[in-house]
Amino acid sequence: MELIIILIEAVKNGILAILDLAVIIFPLMIVIEVLKDLKMLEKLTNLMSPLTNSLKIHKDSSLPLVIGVILGLFLGAGVLVKSVDEGNLDKRSLVIVSIFLALCHAVFEDTVVFVPIGANLLIVLLVRIISAFFVAIVASKFIKEMN
Amino acid sequence: MISIDTFKRGLKKGFDVLILLGKIMLPIYVVVELLKYSGLLETISKLFIPFMSLLGLPGEAAFALIIGASVNIYAALGVLVSINLTAKQATIVAIVLSIAHNLIGETVVIKRIGVNPYFITGLRIITAFSVGTIMNLVL
């Protein structure tokens, strides 16, 4: 009996989380399309070129990186899958972007939550970003061309 | 230029992504919820108590790290607020959790992208633990 209650609760929470996501996804994807048509995404790509160049990944990795770092892994992954479907991203870039985003995503939300325990937020944020960058750079050195 | 087509494309892609994420999120919620109630996490966390000294954390923090790693940061915070932590310990536990959390759910997402999820998850755990240990020495 208790198990059924837990399952119902889990499904309910899951549906609520998906609805929460829907509220962000539709405006986000529309804004991305608008920015694309205004040729504004290229500016973002240029802005992110120091990161994509140092990781030696495709410049189209910029959008999923920005979305993931700010809005979280799920949305970053959604945009990433779309980029792959549209044929812009090579496998090597995909792996390196995944590594960076897995370590470093939703940086504001994931940092601010630690206010209640009295963590030093600036240190948490910086150490996380530097760690992700370091691991991604090392991965970039080791991962050669992939198919 | 922007046309009605721009918005149509946005809506269509939004719908695609929502379906994609929805299909993975629902099972994750069920699995994680079952795991939380199974008591398995408490048992696993006991194995990690000896390693807490490397991070400069009290043994109780092991449960917070395990619940954070398998459920999410919010669940870990529920445990952490009941433990007395120094400012340094709070910062270290936050760094470790910010790098390695919600691993079950986020691993499924990585798998869907088409990247080896075990590799990425292993990398997150190793990075979190190494960086935590380094910070214990540095801070």
**What is the full per-residue pLDDT of chain B (139 aa) written as tens digits?**
888 999 999 999 999 989 988 888 888 888 888 888 888 888 999 999 999 999 999 999 999 999 999 999 999 998 999 899 999 999 999 999 999 999 999 989 999 999 999 999 999 999 999 999 999 999 9
Largest Cα separation within chain B, whole Å, is 61
Count Cβ atoms within 10 A of the Cβ of residue B31 and give its class: 0-12 exposed, 13-18 middle, 19 or more buried.
Answer: middle
Residue of chain B whose alpha carbon sits nearest to that of A73: B106
Which residues 41-70 of A have a C-beta within 8 angstroms of B?
none
What DSSP designation does B50 have? G
Of B3, B85, B99, the CB nearest to A131: B99
CA distance A47 to chain B (A): 22
Contact A104, B100 (CB under 8 A): no
CB contact under 8 A, B10 and A37: no
Q: Over the Cα atoms of chain B, what is R_g?
A: 19
Report DSSP letters for A81-94, one per residue.
HHHHHTT---HHHH
ipTM: 0.91
CB contact under 8 A, A74 and B109: yes
pTM score = 0.91
